[in-house]
Amino acid sequence: MQPYYFPFVRRRGNLLEGLFDYRPRNEQEATVVAISTDWGASWIFRGKALALNPYCPWDATDPDNLNVNVKGTKTAYGSSSANAADNGLGHAFAFSTKGKQHVYHLNRADGHIDSDQLVVHSLNHGEGFSLFGLPEFGYVSPLASGGYPNLESTAAATTGLIDPDAILGSVHMGDKKTIVYVSKNLSPEIRTFRQTRFAQKPRLSR
C-alpha cells in the first residue's frame, strides 16, 4: 500500500470507505479516499483533497525530490528545511456529531506537529465519497516564500486537546460523544489530562 499510510476505514452500506494519508517521500502529502467491495482486500481510488504540493519534481528520477519546477524555475524543495517536503495534513479521522460530519487532521508542519490543535474541515453529506467539496490544497503554498505553513482559509481547529497526534476512535456516552486520541508529548514535563467530550458539536476556532 505504500505510499499510503494511516488508514481510517468505516463501513458505508455494503462498502468499506477508507481515508488514507498519501505521502511520497519529500514530495507530497494529501488525503485520499478509496472504497473496497471485498472487505479491504483491494481498493478503488475515488478522490484526493487537501494536498500539499502543486509542483512537479525538477528531476523525476530523484527519490528525495530535492528540487521542484516552479514556473520553469528550479527551486529548492526537499533540500530546504523552510519548505514543506512531505509535511502536510495527515492522520485523517472522520465522524459526525448531531448530524454534521467533520474530518480531523494532524498539522505535520515543523513547529506545529504534536503541539497545535487538530485541523478540522466539514464534510458534505450524500455525495459519492467523503472528500467531495473539500479544498484541493490544504496550505496556501508548500514553499516558505509562498506562505507555508499557513493553512488554507476554510480550515478550523479543535480546542482543549493536549499535544494531539491523531484521533483513534469515538464512543457515545448518553447524549455525548467521547474521543480517544494520541497525545505525543516530546518534552519531559508532566501534564495533567482531562476528559474531552463533544456534546452538541465540536468546538472549533479559526
* Per-residue model confidence as pLDDT tens digits over 43-91: 999 999 999 999 999 998 998 889 999 999 999 998 898 999 999 999 9
Phi, psi of 37 (to 5 degrees): -105, 0
Average pLDDT over all residues of the chain = 87
CA dist., res. 8 & res. 17, Å (int): 8
Locate cell 494520541: which residue?
182
What lies within 8 Å, CB to CB, of 64 at 6+ separation is: 25, 26, 78, 79
Omega within 30 of 0 (cis) for the link into 3: yes
With pLDDT > 90 as the criterion, what percentage of the chain qualifies? 64
pLDDT given for residue 115 in this prediction? 92
Residue 129 has, within 13 A of its CA and on its CB side, a CA count of 21
Is pLDDT of 95 > 80? yes
Omega within 30 of 0 (cis) for the link into 149: yes
Is pLDDT of 146 > 60? yes
CA dist., res. 180 & res. 196, Å (int): 9
Is pLDDT of 34 > 70? yes
Task: Report which of 139, 167, 162, 159 is spatially closest to residue 151, judged by C-alpha positions.
Answer: 139
pLDDT given for residue 128 in this prediction? 58
pLDDT given for residue 132 in this prediction? 86
* pTM to 2 decimal places: 0.86
CA dist., res. 148 & res. 159, Å (int): 22
Give long-range contacts, CB 8 A cutoff, 24+ apart: 23-26: 23/86, 23/88, 23/90, 24/65, 24/86, 25/63, 25/64, 25/65, 25/86, 26/64, 26/65, 26/66, 26/77, 26/78, 26/85, 26/86
Is pLDDT of 196 > 60? no
Is pLDDT of 205 > 70? no
Q: What band does 126 get if pLDDT is binned at 50, 70 and 90?
A: low
CA dist., res. 3 & res. 95, Å (int): 24
What lies within 8 Å, CB to CB, of 2 at 6+ separation is: none
CA dist., res. 55 & res. 71, Å (int): 9
Is pLDDT of 26 > 50? yes
